[in-house]
Structure 1
């Protein structure tokens, strides 16, 4: 008897089947728009041999002797009861419909099969890539514009200022095909590789905050480098039934939410602002929950959205049983010096207002003598 397939192989097979389904549906939608414009199907089949393969694939899928409208409708019914894959998770994360996800797949058709480039160009495409006019012709002006806005906002579609052609980032399309993430773009930890939350030694108060329902959409994890913020973020992601993913470079950060949806992982953001400096960061609506933001131990936050903050001043330690956390580290003592600015000791809540280098705050945080002796120069500013 042969060995049982690994979970990774099963996931890749499910992703390949889902990709074939959405690829066939998108091609049928484009073919319907081309037939409505051409007036007949045979001239299109004579010019583009790849379309004959598409019709053969539709026949193999049980769509023979159906009109294009009926075939598309039957594929939509099948998708409702199909297992969830990378593309379905992306559709749910962005709030797209079947046509909206078709806009994403259409932008990568010619990259998978170069024979389709000429067919896409006939539908107002540019170098095998669809344009806004292509999406409006195939999916409707309103639906195409709405889907394009969501996909561009999530970094799932790229549109140049001079070149109107739409393209899917290669790293994202690899994830949509079920391939492992590129190590040069993403750091990915599967759910099985993450430490479970009960296996971490944490202070009782912090554990109560982490386990108190309902789970928030965003976690702000304060701590110094090496304090275990990534370990805690992974435990929170595993508790939510997801893996963990982080961007390696800036281009990957723009599409982190889409990558997290495709990988069924929770995104991890890192912010290291200097003291009294602001770092722009906002949870994108396309990011799967929970979103973990790792920042310095002395960082303050302000947001209109509900959030919880946790201090990881003492590194979480894996254990097989219950235990108590070690004594507070330097980060926790540093947070006590910020208490006058609205943060409680330990940094376990979001401050009432962002800490700014005002004149009273200046002298509370850095005594005058120590600042002079260390050669530090600070400029006091008025409170806003």
Structure 2
């Protein structure tokens, strides 16, 4: 029977970690993810989990400890944000290349400089090509559910890759919402017991991990890694379907909100999707056929599915809460536009950068984007391809 509770995003994620009961958690505090290991350490101190909690001296050390633990056959988790994720950079690639199914909550926060502790997606977007699976989450409920499912995806025999469960700093991490929790036994049975095929501690089947890889083999190992992350898409679908049977909550690779008959639509990730849904509702009341596609799985990128979902609209604005510094648009925009090339060429696609450093974005800000899209849909002409929302020019 589901448990009704009121929790912040960080509390919900820590609660899920308690139910998962990982073998090792190694973490270093950084705002706004600090509460995740803080809450979880209380479960450790109270004897509610069997986890070995490793207090380290930096985020680089945290990921290094996670790599060592996972290589030794331990189910391993961590959490970080912003500069902490950036300090892990070297080890992110190593964790993925060694095919270690570590699960990490990435509580999204702007990168310095200037120093900023508020939300945008520059941290996780910067790590999007590190080989980690990335799942983005709008609400506390979604973050809780995704963390539980992430264990199954990461550890699947066809995947064996680390997973980032991303949600917005302060907006989601510290805001309290009503949430439906699963019973401990349900979660325990769902994630199952971790039985790695390879382990450094398996003396009967000795292996080497992270060894020197010469040109004769390195390319093939990268190809295997690329195939594994492709496999993650179908594995996530299967895991979500199984999760729906025990929770009653069904997820997809992305969420479509009033998109089926929309003329204009935006693509967006994480908490601002909630604001955008309110905007869609307001515009629908005015007779405007607005819709929304909310990104959930970003790595691997569900290109074909997104192109199909958007192929019938007249104009799309892709919303990026990170500046890609490519002079060609933000990271989500680049992927969406590429996905639509040759499959939805008649659709006009523009980009908006928004909310950097925690800049507030409300319903009427999002309405400006839809107003812009309506002009494009009516005229068939794109005036400005790359746009900034709510900035003092």
Fold agreement, TM-score > 0.5: no
Q: Structure 2 length normalisation: TM-score? A: 0.27
Larger strand proportion, structure 1 or 2? 2
Structure 1 length as normaliser, TM-score?
Answer: 0.28
Higher gyration radius (CA): 1
Normalized per residue, the structure richer in helix is 1
